Amino acid sequence: MTTQNAPRTARERARAELTREITEEARRQLAATGANGLSLRAVARELGMASSALYRYYPSRDDLLTALIVDAYNAIGEAAETAIADTTSGAGRARWVAACHAVRAWALDRPHEYALIYGSPVPGYRAPAATIGPAARVPLAFVGVLAAAIADGEITVGEVTDGEVTDGEVAAGADHGADALTGALADQAAALSAALALAPSAPNTAVVPPGLLVRGVAAWTQLFGMISFELFGQFVGSFEPADAFFAHTIAQSATSVGLP
């Protein structure tokens, strides 16, 4: 098996380059006018070619959109991962906070790309399966921070019994992994915790218990709620600019997932 990543013929090289140019021009137009303003004809015009030529590269407008969506998910995921990897000093808390700020910075820099993946769905567009993996990178990055913090003993988690979680209330104290979960939520969280433990991406890190996972997802939704409100104008007249509010609330969210 030989690696075939690099194009060999002139044709293949030209095709790879033009594909990149088309995608870049499309991203430029997306940034300028949003997803609805993106048109194949305009991209072709800007590149000085016939609009029909684009169909050699993308079979339809939706496929071009999908490529942009996948790119955006990968880019914001990479921003989070890089921020975590680059935070070598300090503990899990510093990594958590750095990831949140990196995600926000990415979004403020590219509001239309952010809106493409976290705003209202594009009408008539059905996200294909290829977007699922890239979309998971940001949440997985946060889970990774929690798992590492558990492995390092920074977060104290309670005992997790095999199978069903009992319905009894557990007093919530400093033990952030042992929130009382009941019914459907207990099942969903347990299944997710188990699935994450088996994931190949995290071979020898700790298991994140269901209770902590739920707190993590709550923090994750709040992070994106804040960014969306900031970008879409809901803070106008109150906490705008939102830097201070964001920093303050992220600090509280780090505490809420048990990061000291």
Partner DNA sequence: TGTACATCAGTGAACGCGCGTTCACTGATGTAC
Binding interface with DNA (CB under 7 A): 9-12, 14-15, 18, 38-42, 48-53, 55-57, 60-62
User: For residue 177, what are the CA distances in angstroms to 36, 86, 153, 215, 257?
Assistant: 43, 27, 13, 8, 8
Nearer to DNA, 60 or 221 (CB): 60
Q: How far is the CB of 23 from DNA (least distance, A)?
A: 14
Which residue's structure tokens are 């952010």? 114
Nearer to a second copy, 3 or 120 (CB): 120
Residue 166 interacts, among DNA, a second copy, none and using kind-specific CB cut-offs from 5 to 8 Å, with: none
Continuous segment of H or E residues that includes residue 140? helix 137-151
CA dihedral 239, 110, 122, 213 (to 10 degrees): -70
Residue 49 interacts, among DNA, a second copy, none and using kind-specific CB cut-offs from 5 to 8 Å, with: DNA
Q: How far is the CB of 132 from DNA (least distance, A)?
A: 23
Nearer to DNA, 45 or 248 (CB): 45
Cβ neighbour number for residue 14 with a 10 Å cutoff: 11
The alpha carbon of residue 16 and the mean position of all alpha carbons in its chain are separated, in whole angstroms, by: 27
Residue 201 interacts, among a second copy, DNA, none and using kind-specific CB cut-offs from 5 to 8 Å, with: none
List contacts with a second copy (CB under 8 A): 33-37, 115-116, 118-121, 123, 127, 132, 135, 181-185, 188-189, 192, 214, 217-218, 221-226, 228-229, 232-234, 236-239, 241, 243-245, 247-249, 252
Q: Is the peptide bond before 111 cis (omega within 30 degrees of 0)?
A: no
Q: Taking a C-beta distance cutoff of 8 angstroms, is the pair 94, 155 a contact?
A: no
User: For residue 7, what are the CA distances in angstroms to 4, 14, 25, 44, 169?
Assistant: 7, 9, 22, 24, 60
Q: How far is the CB of 87 from a second copy (least distance, A)?
A: 23
Q: How far is the CB of 221 from a second copy (least distance, A)?
A: 4
Q: How far is the CB of 140 from a second copy (least distance, A)?
A: 11
Dist CA 25 CA 16 (whole Å): 14
Q: How far is the CB of 202 from a second copy (least distance, A)?
A: 16
Residue 38 interacts, among a second copy, DNA, none and using kind-specific CB cut-offs from 5 to 8 Å, with: DNA
Q: How far is the CB of 49 from DNA (least distance, A)?
A: 3
User: For residue 199, what are the CA distances in angstroms to 95, 96, 195, 204?
Assistant: 21, 21, 6, 10
Nearer to a second copy, 145 or 181 (CB): 181
Nearer to DNA, 55 or 86 (CB): 55
Residue 41 interacts, among DNA, a second copy, none and using kind-specific CB cut-offs from 5 to 8 Å, with: DNA
Nearer to a second copy, 18 or 180 (CB): 180
Q: Taking a C-beta distance cutoff of 8 angstroms, is the pair 141, 81 a contact?
A: yes
Q: Taking a C-beta distance cutoff of 8 angstroms, is the pair 216, 155 a contact?
A: no
